[in-house]
Structure 1
Amino acid sequence: MANLIPIYRERGHLRANFRAPSAKIESDTTSNCKGGVSVTLPIEEGSVYSWGKAEWAGNAVLSNPELGAALGMKAGELANGLKIDKGLASIQEAYGRKGHLASRLKTTPVFEDASRLVTYQIEVKEGSQYRMGTLTITGFSESTINRLKSKWKLQPGDVYDASYLKEFMKKEMVLDARETGAPPKSISTELKPDRQKLTVDVTISLK
């Protein structure tokens, strides 16, 4: 049942609900499945909803228009539940780029059955802003370590951009792996956020 819910949510059935299945042994001699078990799975599809609007609360770092742009929903379009989920994830990524690694979103959908519109009330908990701590690179030659550190743009004290490590690995580390002959899969990364200092230490290791 859990696998079927996303299919309905993608089609705007945000309130689709499966009830408990029932099973019975087929004893009818005319049945194609005599002696087998038939299973009935009742479902309440509910209405197909369109997007109304988002109502924001608790945000300061990102403005309402910035949050709306990241969410990517437009009034009147199909309320695709999977697209909404993706938009909410994009909002948290946007906060991550500004150093807010522990941002949280509490969503409360409000359904208007007459108009078949849904409004999402979204409470934002931005959390603290983290800054870059130390960068440690191990397993490479000293010259390679120095070269990679020179390419790393986040300096200690800079606002930590949570998307930067992935970008760095994709560009610089893959290129360096080609030069050294080390396959990318042998390179690991580790993040160590310090909740007291509000810093993030980054370790990149060649194993």
Structure 2
Amino acid sequence: MESPRIASVKQKGLIFCLSAFLIAPLLGVLSPATAAPPLIQQRAATAQQPPARAKLNALRITGSRKFPEENIAALTGLRLGDMIGKEEIQAAADRLARLGTFQNVRYRFTGREESVDVEITLEDSPTVPVMFDNFPLFSDGELTQALKDAAGLFDGTAPENGTILDTMTEALQQLLEKRGVEATVERTLLAGPGEMNMIQRFQMVGVAGLKVSAVQFGDALAAESRRLAEPQRDLIGKPYSRFVAAVFANEQVRPLYLEKGFLRVQFGPAQARFTGDPRRPLPETVTLVLPITPGPAYRWGGATWSGNAVFPADTLNQFLGFAADETVNGMKIIAGWERVRSEYGRRGYLDAVVEPQAIYDDAAPRVRYAVKIAEGPQYRMGQLTITGLSLTAERMIIAAWRIPAGEVFDRVYFEDFLEEQARKKKAFGEYVVHFKLVGPMLRTNPDKKTVDVFLDFQ
């Protein structure tokens, strides 16, 4: 009769739980490098115990939705036919857990006579996109293949931490050395440009001479736009960097397309086109090519609203300001959602949440929005507290404040008041209020439905 054994390894804290292994003297909890909790599950050993070490008869990997079983198995260090004991199985689990690629590793094994079957079940960790920032001497295919060959598990993304990142960094470093490039590979986890979340950026440092001599846009709208001529100077003459190019595309080029209705415009990774003297070992400059896929220019298909009680749908549509079948100015629609939020804030609904969901019809092409609103409570003015000023100045600020206690709070007025004070730095006839900035804070009380205002003049 077979006797299954169960163990688990969890990344971040590396919690290890292990049942009895193959013989009675080894029953109990394994003592790894980090402390282990008490045994959570253990089953009776077989009547006739196998030896302390047994031949690995089968190795099964399950649970990953991203990577093939054989690729993961190759990283365990376990080979079919090898003689293994509990130390080898624990080491294999540790190895997978430390990669960072998997956030949970569980394993079980079954002994039969002088062989053992091992099953490892794991979960994929959340990953972030990988950006090859400034490797213009290499194609993306070369860089990707180098990581696949070295790390075994690479699909264009990487975990935020783990030993696999060290392996990836070293693989790129070796690629540079083979090509004779004297530079160091560094990686940084940072916020990506635009709507991207975090990214793992790999970049060369210590390499000189690769400057941007010109910018070439992959679409006529950007190429013919005069308003991009001046911003291009932020790229020209500077070191080639995909990250910098992506920031430029998001901040300077994207608004140009949004205004024309290209709401789903896509920017590919910047490409380097070499210029300069081809007889030199390395090129002196590169032309930065920015791929652009505009997509269709969308027309207005309307908005449907749910959860709104303060404003009827017609009023909310007026806040957006679009006519039927009008080309959708993407910058205007962004401002429109902010207008809706501001109107709620003007009426005391400080917790109001506006969630627009775009529904695209590329055949038309038209876009409509399904908008969910959670209005929350209406707040009224509570206390006004001022710090950092003399008693006289404090009285003058209080006298200038126009929302009395108990009245509906107006967030738009609050923001305008702060802006006015910051602009004038004095507002009370001949009396001068000296300060550098105002630290504002709103403290809401949902039970009383009041909001207290704190103004710290510094």
Give the TM-score category using the shorter length: 0.7 to 0.9
Q: CA deviation at 1:196?
A: 4.5
Post-superposition CA distance 1:8-50 (Å, at most 9, x none): 1121101111233444656995xxx966445443322111112
Post-superposition CA distance 1:118-158 (Å, at most 9, x none): 11111112122222111123344445544543443323332
Q: CA deviation at 1:7?
A: 2.0
Q: CA RMSD in A?
A: 3.1
Corresponding letter in the other structure for 1:191: L
For structure 2, the 5+ residue unaligned runs are 1-245
**What's the counterpart of residue 56 of structure 1?**
305
Match of 2:431 among 165, 180, 189: 180
Corresponding letter in the other structure for 1:180: Y
Corresponding letter in the other structure for 2:451: V
Change (3 A) 1:68 1:185: farther
Match of 2:407 among 158, 179, 199: 158
Change (3 A) 1:147 1:19: closer
Mapped partners of 2:307, 2:381: distance in 1: 25
Match of 2:327 among 78, 81, 90: 78
Corresponding letter in the other structure for 1:133: G
Work out the number of aligned pairs and report it: 204
Post-superposition CA distance 1:94-131 (Å, at most 9, x none): 00011111222222222223332211111112122222
Q: CA deviation at 1:80?
A: 0.6
**1:71-150 map, 5 Å:** 71-150=320-399
Q: Which of these two proteins has the greater Rg computed from alpha carbons?
A: 2
Structure 2 length as normaliser, TM-score?
A: 0.40
Match of 2:452 among 198, 201, 204: 201
Corresponding letter in the other structure for 2:442: L
Match of 1:16 among 242, 261, 265: 265
Structure 1 length as normaliser, TM-score?
A: 0.81
Change (3 A) 1:206 1:37: closer
For structure 1, the 5+ residue unaligned runs are none
SS at match of 2:443: strand
**What's the counterpart of residue 68 of structure 1?**
317
Q: CA deviation at 1:56?
A: 1.1
Report the more deviating stretch, 34-43 or 85-94. Answer: 34-43
Change (3 A) 1:112 1:158: same
Mapped partners of 1:7, 1:19: distance in 2: 16
Mapped partners of 2:309, 2:293: distance in 1: 39
Change (3 A) 1:45 1:130: same
Mapped partners of 1:140, 1:18: distance in 2: 50
SS at match of 1:180: coil
Change (3 A) 1:25 1:148: closer
Change (3 A) 1:125 1:96: same
SS at match of 2:411: coil
Post-superposition CA distance 1:136-183 (Å, at most 9, x none): 23344445544543443323332211122234452898422x532224
